Amino acid sequence: MLNRFTTVSLALAMCVAAACDNAQKTDAPAADTKAAAKAESKPAEAPKPTEAPKAAAPKPADKPAEKPAPAATPATPTTPATPATPATPAVSIDQVKITPAVASKAWVKMTTSKGDMIIELDRAKAPVTVDNFLAYVKKGQYDGTVFHRVIKDFMIQGGGFDATLTEKPTDKPIKNEGTNGLSNARGTIAMARTMDPNSATAQFYINVVDNKMLDTRPGRPGYAVFGNVIEGMQVADAIRAVPTGQKVANTRGGQGPMGDVPVETVEIIKVVEIPAPAGK
């Protein structure tokens, strides 16, 4: 009985030969927001005039009267101290509100055994796919995985298997955003999936040539593009050039042969989200 990888390899060959009209590959592209009230006071009534008592004639003093002490200078009223401005409380990154202009894009650095790639993610066109990808990035899903499927004149695929070709567990599948208008052009990154259009999880691929046959067409769902390589495309070209062959893989469906596997392991060492590169 043919296992699923043998079936996939046959499908791939047929897809490449027929411009990938019937694309099918497990986890792969086919060919895969005061004022305080003033107290009103009545003016104080003027005191009623009273008749001053008549002063008695002063007796001659035995001693000259002492000069009265000079009146004390009234104290200058103290200006009240200005209240201290309260310190601005620290704000955590989770409390920062991101403007739509910033939220529409995100960037990641993918470090591989062949070099680094900077990838710009298009959240405006593929919000579900970008958020799904970044969720995997933040929990380290891609660290230590490999590019397990490489076809020189097609694409390089990774994110699903570790260096022993053991498939990694994933979260739930996401909906296909293949109708977002982004094409599978050279340098773009898209989600790999099975024949079920809404089956993409963690695996992705980078187009090393234009693959418009993977775009959505009438009557056939396409593969969702969600970003593109803006720096380091030469790394993708180096990966596409490695020799490939068949190896045994351990998938959730069992053990079996897998084709188009690099003979030399091409590791995805780490993927991290980064700030916008200069000029972005």
CATH number, position 238: 2.40.100.10
What lies within 8 Å, CB to CB, of 102 at 6+ separation is 276
Structural domain boundaries enclosing 251: 25-30+99-274
Instruction: Note whether residue 210 is domain-resident.
Output: yes
Q: Assess if residue 54 is contained within a domain.
A: no
Residue 203 belongs to some domain of the structure: yes
For range 265-273, the mean pLDDT:
98
The token pair at 76 is 């200058």
| Helices and strands counted in the chain (H then E) | 4, 10
Helix (H, G, I), strand (E, B) or coil at 222: coil
Contact 170, 201 (CB under 8 A): yes
Chain position carrying tokens 């003093």: 61
pLDDT number for residue 205:
99
AA identity, residue 200: A
Q: Determine, yes or no, domain membership for 172.
A: yes
More confident residue, 190 or 279: 190
Averaging pLDDT over each range in 1-5, 59-63, 111-115, which range is the top one?
111-115
Residue listed under structure tokens 């202009």: 101
Q: Could you tell me the pLDDT band of residue 280, with boundaries at 50, 70 and 90?
A: confident
Q: Which has the closest alpha carbon to 31: 50, 10, 55, 48?
A: 10
Number of domains in the chain: 1
Length of the chain, in residues: 280
pLDDT digits (tens, 9 = 90+) for 50-73: 343 344 444 444 444 455 555 555
The overall average pLDDT reported for the chain is 78
Beta carbons of 133 and 121 less than 8 angstroms apart: yes
51 assigned to some structural domain: no
State how far the Cα of 103 lies from the Cα of 128, in Å rounded to an integer: 13
The confidence score (pLDDT) of residue 27 equals 52
The structure tokens listed for 18 are 């027929």
Report which of residues 148 and 19 the model is more confident about: 148
CB of 204 closer than 8 Å to CB of 149: no
In a domain, 10, yes or no: no
What are 165's two structure tokens?
């070709």
* Closest C-alpha to 202, from 228, 223, 171: 171
Q: Is residue 45 one of the residues assigned to a domain?
A: no
Q: Which positions ≥6 away from 157 have C-beta within 8 Å?
A: 27, 28, 29, 32, 147, 148, 149, 150, 192, 203, 204, 205
Q: Indicate the pLDDT class of residue 25, thresholds 50, 70 and 90.
A: very low
In a domain, 236, yes or no: yes
